[in-house]
Structures are given as C-alpha cells and as structure tokens.
Amino acid sequence: MDKVFLYDTTLRDGAQHEGISFSLEDKLKITQKLDQLGVHYIEGGWPGSNPKDAEYFERVRELKLRQAKIAAFGSTRRAGLAVADDPQVQALLDAGTPVITVVGKSWTLHVRDVLRTTPEENLRMISDTIAYLKAAGKEVIYDAEHFFDGYNADPAYTLATVQAAQGAGADWIVLADTNGGNMYWRIEEVVKEMRRKLQAPLGVHAHNDSELAVANSLAAVRAGVTQVQGTINGIGERVGNANLCSIIPNLKLKMGVDCVSDEQLAMLTKVSKFVSEAANVAHNPQLPYVGETAFAHKGGIHVSAILRNVDSYQHTDPALVGNEKRVLVSELSGRGNLRYKAEELGVEVTDSQVKKALAKIKELENKGFFFEGADASVELLLERTKPDYRAPFELVDFTTVVEHRQKRGLLAEATVKLRVNGEIVHTAAEGNGPVNALDKALRKAMLPYYPLLQGIQLTDYKVRILDADAATGATTRVMITTRNGKRSWITVGSSANIIEASWEALVDGLEYALSRGTREDN
C-alpha cells in the first residue's frame, strides 16, 4: 500500500462524545491543527443541523489550509421526496465545501425499522442523492452506514446499496462498522470481497465498542482500503471512534504506509493534547503513542535495561511522534531509576547518595507518599543526601486555628516560627482556610530574606484519601503545584493529619523554589 488518505471526523462524530462541546473558535483552530498534521479530509459538521455548524462552513473558507479538504456531512434524500426538494440536501450544497459525505443505509433492519421505507426506495435514495451532488461538481464520499452488520445479515442487498452508490458516481465508498461489533478478521475478509466486486476506491469507518476500532481499521487497510476515517484521541459516540493518534503512527511506522511526513508525525502528541484542551477534558495519559505514560518506565528491572539499550522496553522512538521517554520514581524503583532521574533533573549525586535517597523514598511511599508526579520532592530528597546541603529555612513550630467569629463567620489563622539565616522569625497570617493561612504566614516570614518568593504562586492543590475505611482518621496525600512564571513543579506530603500533609507539600514547594533559584544563580 503506497498511499492512504486520512479522513478526520473529530468535529462531527467526535463532538458526539458525551461531555464534549466544541465552540466555533475551537472548531476552526482544530481544523488548522489537523491540516498541519497532514490530514487529507476534515469533516466539519452537518449543515442545517445547528447554527454553529452553519457558521463554521462560512468561516472555514477564510482559512488558508495547506492540503486538507473540508467535507460537509449529511444523509441521502428523504423517502418519497425528490432530491432537489430536500432541504437537507440543499444545505449540503449551500455549505460550499469541495467535498460532501453522504450517509446511507446498508442494513435492511435500518431500511425497514428506522427509515420505514422499502429496500427499493432506499436504493433510489442513495443513487439520486449522489448523482445530484456529482452533477453539482462535488467530490462525493458515500458513507455506507452499518455496512458490515448489513452484509452479515443480507449480503446481496448490502452489496446492492454500495453498487448503487458506485453507479451514481461516488468518488469513495466508505464501509462502516457503525455499532463497533465486528472482529478484525471479518472486516478484512469482507473488505477483500468488496475489493473484488467494486471499482470505486474504498474507505473504512470503525467504532470502538469492542475495543477493536484501530485493529479493524488497519485490517481494512491490509485488505485494500485507501481511506481511513477516525478522530483525534478516539473521541466519539458511545465509547468512541477509531483513534487517528494510533492509526497514523501504526500506518507509517509499523506498516510502511505513506500517510504523513516525518515532520507532521512529530506533531502528533501536540495535536492530541490540543484537542483535549479544546474539548475541556483531561488528556488521557494512557493513550498509546501520545499519552504521558506511553513511554514511561517504572519497574527497576525495566529501567536498568533501557539504560543499557533503550530499545529493550520501547517499541519505537517516542520522539518520532513528538513524545518523550520518562523514568518514574517509586517504591518499585531500583537505583537505575533514581540515577536516571538525577541526571534528568541535573543533580549530581554519588552512588551512596542515590542508595540513601532510594531507601528514603521507599520508606515514605510506605507511609502514603507518591513520587511519580512529584519531581520537585524527588530532587529535594536527592539534594538532602549531600553533606553540604543547607535548607534555606528551618521550621521551629507552627499552629493553625479555625474559628467562627461574630459578623465575620469562619476564619483561619496560622502562626509560624522559623529559623532563617540563623535568626528566629515569628509571624502570623489569616487566610480563607488553614493551608492558605500557613502559605501566607510562611511567605510573610521569608520575603524579607528571599524576595524571589514574591513571584511564586500556588496554582493547584489536590487531596486524596488513601484508606477511606478509616473515615475521618484516614491517611491523606496532598500534592501541590507551585509556579514561578512559566515554570511549575509538584511536591507531595502525606499524613493522617491533613494539615501536616499540606504543610509538608507546601514547605517542599517553597524550599524547592529557593534552593533551585540559588543553584541557578550560581
């Protein structure tokens, strides 16, 4: 297979994912990203279904796209209605796109029970609509909905539907596993049959209800399709569509199929994250190729192996898809993990210091700490193993009080006593909660000595209960994200006392800022 064309339906099928709604501006920005990625067809929406899609087709004409063709999506004419009189078909033309994708019924179950028409009329609906759009000068993609289920039930009739589309001049015939229930071997078998019986170029549109959408799409390519449809990150109706973020690298890297350039492939992770951000959903870290954990190594044996040969536990170079290798530090780590992490963080340590820090990590994780996402706390543990390390401040004691005051409601107050540069500093501050009060009191105490704290901000505060059965006596893990301009870091604390856990994470965050700042200044 020399060439496979990519057809993205993130903006239409992907937008049917529960909890996702793209704004018009989101859709236009995603269109530009998909074009830069090298996608050949971008399905913008269903004209006439809502005002947003109608405006999208007007605005998208203003974009200067490099190669992508914009497609409008709609259905065949209604039963018993002349195609020229169908407002939905007219809306497809009014969208002004060079490509129109028409969905039609392939399964007799849908013809009789959903459309409530005759098999013969359905064939006319398909051919009339495609012929009408072709006469208007459009590239027409026929989406044979429920094709594989229809073919399993009534092969002769389902074949007749796509032959009707071909006879009317369809430029592409896309075979859809709309319910996502077919196995990849059946997909490959049926596509091979269609390749023998049809002359029009074929495509595939797979849903992921059986966790096989990517496999089914690749099987279809092996059998002869030259267009693959899907969505970024596999978002879509029910459990989703075929994931283009897996299909694209599998085609190019595993099957040797030319679908995007090397430079475009290297954009894949950024595009994946961009779509998640536009959709206002967390980016799935477990996504193959583009997820944060796709090339993450945690087990000590694994890390020891990749330090000797990176290919020992990696199926491909993460840089090819714009991702990166990560080594995690946890109670499962060996010294190789921590040695690698030290080099990554720019901390020079001896073998004995690594051994000492690793023992401390294992001890703390047994108490509820979690260092995988808390690199700043790991760096501090490494730095603290050095005999010449001096903390920028030392806690003497602290108190927090939460009380109800007349006319002021609930109020939190914290006092801290620190030793800074050999001096005892004692301050107090109020806040909207005990952690906020502690944060303010700490800064108040240290700002005269460390002005750089003026630009340090606490940007996230996460609390997790580790043993819910213990109820209010449960061990709590706190992770705090701190930021200085564009740079951010995460620290962790854990205790049966949520204030202590918060204090540990908070203090580490500020100590990291000060110790890192001092090292970078030097």
Q: Centre a 10 Å sphere on the Cβ of residue 416 and count the other Cβ atoms it contains.
A: 27
Q: Find residue 424's DSSP bridge partners.
A: 419
Give pLDDT, residue 518. Answer: 47
- Could you count the other beta carbons within 10 Å of the beta carbon of residue 270? 16
**How many CB atoms sit inside 10 A of residue 315's CB?**
12
Q: Which residue has the higher pLDDT, 454 or 129?
A: 129
How far, in Å, are 179, 433, 460, 482, 516 from residue 502 at the CA level?
48, 12, 12, 13, 21
The model's pLDDT over 136-178, given as tens digits with 9 standing for 90+, comes to 999 999 999 999 999 999 999 999 999 999 999 999 999 999 9
Mean pLDDT score across all residues of the chain: 89
Contact 171, 138 (CB under 8 A): no
Reported confidence tier of residue 356, pLDDT bands at 50, 70, 90:
confident
Question: Which residues does residue 90 pair with via DSSP β-bridges, in sequence order?
Answer: none
Query: Domain limits of the chain?
Result: 5-279, 296-384, 394-521
pLDDT in tens, 15-69: 989 989 899 999 999 999 999 999 999 999 999 778 888 899 999 999 999 999 9
Query: Fold for domain 394-521?
Result: Double Stranded RNA Binding Domain (3.30.160)
Dihedral sign (CA 246, 251, 256, 260): negative
Assign residue 209 a region: left if phi > 0, alpha if psi is -120 to 50, beta otherwise? alpha
Euclidean distance between CA atoms 13 and 33, whole angstroms: 17
What are the two backbone dihedrals, phi and then psi, of residue 110, each rounded to the nearest 5 degrees? -75, -35
DSSP string of 209-276, one letter each residue: TTS-HHHHHHHHHHHT--EEEEBGGG--STT-B-BHHHHHHIIIIIS--BSS-HHHHTTHHHHHHHHH
CA angle 205, 206, 207 (to 5 degrees): 135
CB atoms < 10 A from the CB of 204, how many? Answer: 29
The residues near 104 (Cβ < 8 Å, ≥ 6 apart) are: 75, 76, 122, 125, 126, 129, 142, 143, 144, 145, 161, 165
Q: Which residue has the higher pLDDT, 342 or 257?
A: 257
The tokens of 236 are what?
A: 């879509």
Task: State yes or no: pLDDT of 131 exceeds 80.
Answer: yes
- Out of 40-54, 268-282, 303-317, 485-499, pick the least confident: 303-317
Quick one: pLDDT at residue 11? 96
Read off the pLDDT of residues 324-353 as tens digits, 9 standing for 90 and up.
876 666 555 566 777 777 777 778 888 888
Dihedral angle sign, alpha carbons of residues 280, 282, 288, 291: positive
CA-closest candidate to residue 458, choices 494, 433, 495: 433
Average pLDDT over residues 64-85: 96
Each residue's pLDDT tens digit, 184-196: 999 999 999 999 9
Nearest alpha-carbon partner for 453 in 482, 480, 432, 492: 482
Dmax (CA) of the chain: 92
Please name the CATH architecture into which domain 5-279 falls: Alpha-Beta Barrel (3.20)
Q: Over the stretch 274-289, which tens digit does the pLDDT of each residue have?
A: 999 999 888 898 999 9
Bridge partners for 164 per DSSP: none
Long-range contacts of 444-448 (CB under 8 A, 24+ apart): 445/393, 445/416, 445/418, 445/420, 446/392, 446/393, 446/418, 446/420, 446/510
Measured distance CA(43)–CA(39) in Å, rounded? 11
Residue found by looking up tokens 């903390």 in the block: 391
Predicted TM-score of the model (pTM): 0.75
In which band, very low, low, confident or very high, does the pLDDT at 92 lie, cut at 50, 70 and 90?
very high
Phi, psi dihedrals of residue 8, rounded to the nearest 5°: -100, 130
Q: What's the one-letter identity of residue 169?
A: G
Percent above pLDDT 90 for the chain? 58
Query: Average pLDDT for residues 181-209, to the nearest whole number?
Result: 97
Cα gap 414→399, rounded to integer Å: 6
